[in-house]
Structure 1
Amino acid sequence: MEFDYVIVGGGSGGTTLASRLSEDPAVKVCLVEAGGDGRGILVRAPAATVAMLPGRPRINNYAYQTVPQPGLNGRRGYQPRGRCLGGSSAINAMLYVRGHRDDYDDWERAGCTGWSFDSVLPYFKRAEGNQRGASALHGADGPLQVSEQQSPRPIAEDFVRAAEECGIPRNDDFNGAEQEGAGLYQVTQFHDGARNGERCSAAAAYLHPVINQRPNLTVLTDTQALRVVLEDRRATGVEVRHKDGSIETLHARREVALCGGAFNSPQLLMLSGIGDPAELGRHGIAVQHALPGVGQNLQDHTDFILAYTSKHTDLFGIGVVGGLHLVKAIAEWRKSGKGMIATPFAEGGAFIKSSPELRRPDLQLHFVIAITDDHARKLHAGFGFSCHVCVLRPKGRGDVRLNDAGPGSPPRIDPRFLSDPEDMALLLQGVKKMREILRAPALEKYRHRELYTADAHTDEELVQHIRARADTIYHPVGTCKMGTDAMAVVDAKLRVHGIENLRVVDASIMPTLIGGNTNAPTIMIAERAADWMRGPITFDRAQQDARAPATSLVPPALQAAATGAAQHPAHAAARSGR
């Protein structure tokens, strides 16, 4: 089991990286994923995220919890993360957001050479297959399908009108020249052909089309990475445990790349003896390389939700009427790819400034055509709508540590939500502005009863509700941060400081949290890393993809795990008639 590159983690970073590296037929690439193939109907049907997000049962979801958070009245936060090919892009709301251009210029100013917005824009465009076509800021030919929503509800447009009534300008492209404003999100969704209306996860975009067409690409699902194998501070491979319990080492002639995300990448580094010696010592792990920044600098978007019940039934609802609507919606989606099943739920949104003199928005809204409560773990009968607000650049910093030395154990996650008073003050401002929008005339016909907060009138009362119900909106970053200071983990080309042939390629390398959703930036990061790792490619990629698969290097049992997804019966049968 020897390869040129071994990639750990089949999420947005790992699938992108594996696909790009394996475009060169002269190299052998192995991708290791702890979960399944990411092809099931729950992944492909966008609205089915409501079945995966709660983590009960744990379908395609690690369903992590944080340690008790003092800023949240001692509650444990919930951290759903994707566990299948596609990673969190297989369970998210599919929103295509890059962040503000100044976010990347900040990285450059902080010493991350080559990470300005002008430097990263070509990689966003390379990845993007935007339904609107190519422009100075958008790509049209990339593998990641970026689409208009198939069937946005009328209430989403009325949310935008409500925002305009509150002085917020309309913005039809949050990734355009200006981010500020209210509008409908574009989504990572197929917009034509047989897969119209399906989720376009990173795996569906980059990996599934080539997984059986490239003999130099091996994909091992249901395979747990145990540690990075090191020899004289040089990564030479990865020790893994397969589903049958067997353990072997995958040897890497060139490089190992960790793509496990903000929680699992630092965890695997520490399990491999790379990290803060004090933390490693607590768990009896021998220090291979002291790197104190591993697991530090955790940042996430703290989020709060306002919700209303509604008598309008053109929303996602729970109950007899909602169930009948759902049955009809499934039939519509299977036939045309449109309707309620194609919804991202968070159909409308806004980027707003807490003060007009700011250079960029510091608050983000997600308007949802359903009642969202406790990550869909608490359901409400009937129909309704809700809206999230989050602080885009929180001051608070947390960390990721180990609970124990077991690779199968969850990491110890401490975001320290609302530990900085400025974060609470800004979130309170955001809640008040969000409430003003939801109470605007354009939404009057939809409002029935405000849940939880109807009797909260003072700042103190709203703060109590925030501490009782705020949590993440799923954008953890920063725990293997890029930089040159003493707490940096990787350099500007994502190479782990002090270790040869080892990189981290995922959202954990972000030195600071970008102002928006993090999936598109993670794919951009992997596109960049692929260029550094492979060098120029001069062959005909289309010709290579058309080849018939050669004899696999993988033993039969492992080959079934890697390629059996293509024969998955659900993939062929679930969308018959389309």
Structure 2
Amino acid sequence: MPGREKSKALDIDLPQGSVGKLSGLAFSGIPGRGRICNAGARSKGKGRRNVTDHDYIIVGAGSAGSVLADRLSANGRHRVLILEAGGRGRSPWIALPLGYGKTFFDERLNWKYEAEPEEALDGRRGYWPRGKTVGGSGAINAMVYARGLPHDFDDWEAAGATGWGWSTVRATYEALETQVSPDGTRRGSGPITVQDVSDQIHPVNRHYFAALDELGLPRTDDLNDPSGEGGTVYRINTAGGLRNSSARACLKPALKRPNVTLVTGALVDRLEFDGSRAVAVHYRRGGQSHVARAGREIILSAGAVTSPRLLQISGIGPADMLRQHGITPLRDCAHVGGNLQDHLGINYYFRATEPTLNNDLAPFMGKVRAALRFALTRRGPLSLSVNQCGGYFRSKPGQNHPDQQLYFNPVTYTTTPAGTRSVVRPDPFPGFIISFQPSRPTSRGRIDISGPNPEAPPLIQPNSLATEEDRAQVIAGGRLCQRIMSTAALTALVESAMYQDLRTMDDATILEDFRKRCGTVFHPVGTCRMGCDPAQSVVDPQLRVHGVKGLRVVDASVFPNVTSGNTNAPTMMLAWRAADLILGEV
């Protein structure tokens, strides 16, 4: 859940050599018959400039870019080039669902960004992991598949994203997904498998649901149902017990086509324009400069952190800021990099009176048993997300919509400091975590370039807890978790609080503790927001950059508002529909 010193993704640190012996994990890399250039390859003639031509150039092979590459190339008529700054994603820890703890500080797979210090968060710098590999952040996330709530998308449309209301979005999700029940029954025919793992979660989760029943809080079988409010077992995008990111589900089959080329290790320097039309991408790879030309369009799918920076470094952004960095503005657009939104969350840790996942994964032989079970059956804790249960809730009766997302995890863990070996160890005693994140924060921040060099780190200014409404939502979320923890069901499960004891906090203490310990839940969106008015947005509802031809942005940066839950599913949905819009103009 949130990115704090005691809440990184779980990693069970399997016995040495066991992962390599788990058959089937090697395909986390992206093979295929399409042309592929590996990150480590180097061309002769260092510094020489190569020019290639394609119909569509997609910058970023992440959650959105992988979907686009598949759909734009499927008819066989369009030549598609995908440029990815990271590597091929061969690590078995990507394919292994519970292995994302190993990628949390791995600089080979993770950009490891940091935000600027925030006074509202006790002067702390937030750690912002972002995927540095084929699959993007969808290759290193916790895999919770959350569409968002219907009003999220109706709010998009009301904010100027015409055609992106719930009725249209729902149909897009249904085309994208295949729902898989515990008995293997499948519904739908989309490439993204959404797995119901309710038959595999840890038995201690029953106390969480008993607590909800005790309070009269709602429950739901499916978070993604339009009326999916309430406690639930989270569905995850896995297939056969392995991570089923859009890279595996969409890009891998696309690369079997001769009209698709993937270039990894390709760091984009800038976009080239002919007048007001984007015509080429300049990038470096293996010490050599390259120019790729687009016959139809260039599509930025580099994510909410990097897509606005690529626009800015190419001359599209706040003119005064660009001039300060020696960049000649092509188009003055103050909103490029603005409208940054993210979810902040916090964990509360408790020792438990009965066995939890700690008892299964902390002992050496427990690790061995879990590895063997996974190798033989593709089931068990290694095939799951650490975020097993949770749901959307209204913190107070009478609210129009749920305002909090909760997590209940049957495990506690300690982490090694950043910069050391990235291991998150389950504690040697039973324990569990309850967490919350306010669903629709109203604070707005910015992401900008910190200099003209494309390798310079981003300037991330989240502006967290800037509004009174956001601070009130923190208190409301803390009070909701406090009510749940005060039930007889969970009181009987608690031996003691491990750190700060939520059960004794008043409003002021809840907010003070949140400022000191909260962290991003890794859902940044909005930095190239979509809208009809060029004076208030970066792209139009067809995702075309205002005032520029041949250039679109297709990723979470175009969200007008953050959705109520995890953002990977709506990012893939957006890319699926974007392909329809693009192909509809051909």
- Would you call these one fold, judging by a TM-score over 0.5? yes
- Aligned partner of residue 545 in structure 2, secondary structure: coil
> For residue 381 of structure 2, what is the aligned residue in structure 1?
340
Q: What residue is the counterpart of 1:381 in the other structure?
A: 427
Q: Secondary structure at the match of 2:117?
A: strand
TM-score under structure 2 length normalisation? 0.86
The answer to whether structure 1 residue 362 and structure 2 residue 409 are counterparts is no
Q: Give the C-alpha shift of residue 28 in structure 1.
A: 0.3
Aligned to 2:273: 230
Q: Deviation string for 1:58-113 (max 9, x for gaps)?
A: 24211111000111011011111111111111111111111111111112222221
For the Cα contact (< 8 Å) 1:197–1:338, is it kept in 2?
A: yes
Q: Distance in 1 between matches of 2:574 and 2:145?
A: 15
Identify the match of residue 452 of structure 1 among 499, 517, 524. 499
For structure 2, the residue ranges without an aligned partner over 5 or more in a row are 1-51, 419-423
TM-superposed deviation, 1:444: 4.0
Coordinate RMSD, CA, aligned: 2.1
Residue 76 of structure 1 aligns to a residue whose secondary structure is coil
Moved more, 262-271 or 34-43: 34-43
Q: Cα deviation per residue 1:509-564 (whole Å; 9 max; x = unaligned)? A: 01111111111100111011111212399xxxxxxxxxxxxxxxxxxxxxxxxxxx
d(CA) in 2 for partners of 1:375, 1:473 = 19
Q: Give 1:372 shift.
A: 5.7
Residues 1:526 and 2:575 are matched in the alignment? yes
Q: Shift in Å at residue 374 of structure 1?
A: 7.7
Contact 2:374 2:380 in 1 (8 A): yes
Confirm whether residue 42 of structure 1 aligns to residue 93 of structure 2.
Answer: yes
CA deviation digits over 1:241-279, x for unaligned, max 9?
11x111101110000000011101001111111100111
The structure 2 residue matched to 1:476, chosen from 502, 524, 527, is 524
TM-score, scaled relative to structure 1? 0.87
Please name the residue that 1:543 is paired with.
none
Aligned residue type for 2:251: L
* Runs of at least 5 residues in structure 1 that lack an aligned partner in the other structure: 191-195, 538-578
Counterpart AA for 2:244: C
Q: Which residue in the other structure is 1:414 paired with?
A: 461
Residue 494 (structure 1) aligns with:
543
Are 1:284 and 2:326 counterparts? Answer: yes
Cα distance between partner residues in 2 of 1:437 and 1:354: 11
Encode CA deviations 1:434-486: one digit per residue, 9 max, x unaligned. 13223433334542221222284322222221111011111110000001331
Counterpart Cα distance in 1 of 2:363 and 2:507? 36
Query: 2:310 is matched with which residue?
Result: 268
Paired residue secondary structure (1:208): helix
Q: Which residue of 2 aligns with 1:153?
A: 202
Instruction: Indicate which of 330, 343, 351 corresponds to 2:371.
Output: 330
Give, in whole Å, the separation in 2 of the partners of 1:312 and 1:404: 53
Which stretch shifts more, 29-38 or 11-20? 29-38
- Cα separation, 2, equivalents of 1:375 and 1:293: 38
Instruction: Please give the alpha-carbon distance, in whole angstroms, between the structure 1 residues aligned to 2:544 and 2:176.
Output: 22
Distance 2:111 2:580 in 1: 30
Task: For residues 296-321 of structure 1, give each alpha carbon's deviation from its aligned partner in whole angstroms, at most 9, with x where no partner exists.
Answer: 000011111111123544314698x4
- 1:429 aligns with one of 476, 483, 487: 476
Aligned partners of 1:157, 1:186: CA distance in 2, in Å? 17
Name the stretch that deviates more: 378-387 or 492-501.
378-387
For structure 1, which segment, 376-385 or 408-417, has the greater mean C-alpha deviation from structure 2 after superposition? Answer: 376-385
Structure 1 residues 428 and 323, CA, compared in 2 at 3 Å: closer, same or farther? farther
Paired residues for 1:7-406 under 5 Å: 7-53=58-104, 55=105, 57-132=106-181, 140-149=188-197, 151-190=200-239, 196-211=240-255, 213-242=256-285, 244-310=286-352, 312-316=354-358, 321-371=362-412, 381-382=427-428, 383-406=430-453
Report the Cα offset of residue 38 of structure 1: 2.5
| Cα 1:376/1:155, change in 2 over 3 Å | farther
**Is the contact between residue 196 and residue 235 of structure 2 (CA under 8 Å) also seen in structure 1?**
yes
**Equivalent pairs: percent with the same residue?**
36
Alpha-carbon spacing, 1:412–1:449, altered in 2? closer, same or farther (3 Å):
same
- Alignment-derived partner of residue 6 in structure 1: 57
CA distance in 1: counterparts of 2:416 and 2:536, whole angstroms: 33
Q: Per-residue deviation at 1:367?
A: 1.5
Whichever residue aligns with residue 154 of structure 2, its letter is: D
Separation of aligned partners in 2, 1:160 and 1:62: 37
Which deviates further from its counterpart, 202-211 or 310-319? Answer: 310-319
Residue-by-residue CA offset, 1:403-444 (whole Å, 9 max, x unaligned): 111111221111111111211111111112113223433334
- Any conservation in 2 of the 1:306–1:435 contact (CA below 8 Å)? no
